[in-house]
Structure 1
Amino acid sequence: MKHQHPTHPEPTDAQARRARPVVVCYPTETLPQLDLAASAARREGAELLQRLSVPPRSAACIDVPAGHFARIVSVEGPQVGDLNIWNSHNIAERFYSGKTRALHGTHVSTGDSLWSSFPFMRPLAHITCDTLDWYGYDADGGS
């Protein structure tokens, strides 16, 4: 249950704690960088192989071979969709949202990767384009 009001008093140094800069646990400068220009060039000449529409409160599966692109489009306004990813050659390797959030934050965008679980820990997919990139980050850290 989420508390409506704090149940503990603020410590005397609360203001100083709030003013401290954020500590980055996983510096993203050390991660492999995507060649976004090369990805954009490959997308430019890409051929549409399949189109799939998934109704609300429903699900679908598609196979996206390595090196191919998949585009996810919200066609009816603001929506939230779940995404699960597996390595089709080894289903023990699957999308690890917790590590992805630790590396890139809760709102992934262009240049970020979607990471797999332990012991694999590698990108299963890369985000090469985000049509909402204009939004940036708001005061709450959302993007």
Structure 2
Amino acid sequence: MGTPPPAYRSGPGGELGVDHDRYERLAARTGDRELVEHFTVPVRSGRAWEVPAGQLCRISAPEGPQVGDLNIWNRHDPRERMWASRTRQLQAAHVSVLDRLWSTLPFLRPLATITADSLSWYGRDGEGGRVHDLLGTRCDPYVNRMLTGEDFDFHCHSNLTRAVLPYGLSELDVHDVLNVFQCTGLNDDDRYFMKASPARAGDFIEFFAEIDLLMALSTCPGGDLSVDLWGPRAGDPLEVCRPLAVEVFRPPKELLAGWSPPQRARYQGLHGIRRAEWSGGEE
């Protein structure tokens, strides 16, 4: 007996459909891309950057396994940002090639599409782990204080907070993340688990910007997550922390022929709220 089908499905030609050929061409044709920006995010830190619509962003692990916590916003309106829970429903709890990262209401449109993933081979391991996690969220100093009684200023929430300050954003704009290179799942008690990242030096994941984006990345203080952050076996994972690299590319113009940024959601109702009715009569 098979498992039930996914709850969120659209008909032929629906908005959940993806132009496979377009994104496969964008992934395959790397020789004549133009490198627009390239930088490294050091261990236990964060950085934000812009990716214009129609460009590609690659996040890689140049020195070996390292988890990165990724946030995404509409560059021009930070109220529109990645919606991790809806992306889990529309795509998957662990994302890979041709999955899209969707935005919050009332916008509800793909912010980015994954075009390449060197870990797409990993699938599901013997313990139920998968990579590129949307099940969990960023580590933060509030939970750390609750679990350990100690303050630590370089959890992913704090790294992302510092990263977005130059763009006029604050801690309140930091949201649930895509945990890049992170291997997670649910155990037999339906509890969230994390395990050591299977990423190797040179592994990468790549995104196509569907609209003008602001992206921010934290190099997780847990490094590759081979050392427990909390619990009876907790230790300091500094020795398994590594940098992450970011590259932004402009693809050849002909690969974008026929493409246009997605429009915001078409729902135009008033949520059942009636418009006020005004009479023209005198009181």
Task: Check the 8 A contact 1:111/1:128 in 2, yes or no.
Answer: yes
Aligned equivalent of 1:142: 130
Aligned equivalent of 2:7: 25
Alignment of 1:48 with 2:30, yes or no, is no
Partner deviation per Cα, 1:84-104 (whole Å, 9 max, x = no partner)? 111111111101111111122
Q: 1-side partners of 2:98 and 2:2: how far apart? A: 28
Task: Check the 8 A contact 2:98/2:113 in 1, yes or no.
Answer: yes
Gapped runs of 5+ residues in structure 2? 132-283
Q: Once the two structures are aligned, what percentage of the paired residues are identical?
A: 46
Alignment of 1:98 with 2:85, yes or no, is yes
Give the deviation of 1:62 after TM superposition: 0.7
Give the deviation of 1:28 after TM superposition: 6.8
SS class of match (2:46) = coil
Paired amino acid for 1:81 = G
Alignment of 1:122 with 2:109, yes or no, is yes
SS class of match (1:99) = helix
Q: 1-side partners of 2:47 and 2:38: how far apart? A: 12
Task: Check the 8 A contact 1:86/1:95 in 2, yes or no.
Answer: yes
Q: 2-side partners of 1:110 and 1:28: how far apart? A: 19
SS class of match (2:117) = coil
SS class of match (1:100) = helix
Aligned residues: 125
Q: Which has the higher strand share?
A: 2
Counterpart mapping for 1:67-78 below 5 A: 67-78=54-65
Partner deviation per Cα, 1:54-83 (whole Å, 9 max, x = no partner)? 012100011000000000002232221111
Aligned equivalent of 2:52: 65
SS class of match (1:138) = coil
Gapped runs of 5+ residues in structure 1? 1-18
SS class of match (1:127) = strand
Task: Check the 8 A contact 2:24/2:115 in 1, yes or no.
Answer: no
Give the deviation of 1:38 after TM superposition: 3.1
Q: 2-side partners of 1:44 and 1:126: how far apart? A: 20
SS class of match (2:45) = coil
Q: Which of 114-123 and 25-34 deviates more?
A: 25-34
Q: 1:39 to 1:80 in 2, by over 3 A?
A: same
Q: 1:101 to 1:44 in 2, by over 3 A?
A: farther
TM-score, structure 2 normalization: 0.41
Q: Which of 75-84 and 125-134 deviates more?
A: 75-84
Paired amino acid for 2:3 = P
Task: Check the 8 A contact 2:82/2:111 in 1, yes or no.
Answer: yes
Higher relative contact order (CA 8 A, sep 6+): 2
Paired amino acid for 2:116 = C
SS class of match (1:125) = strand
Paired amino acid for 1:108 = V
Task: Check the 8 A contact 1:28/1:104 in 2, yes or no.
Answer: no
Aligned equivalent of 1:3: none
Task: Check the 8 A contact 2:81/2:104 in 1, yes or no.
Answer: yes
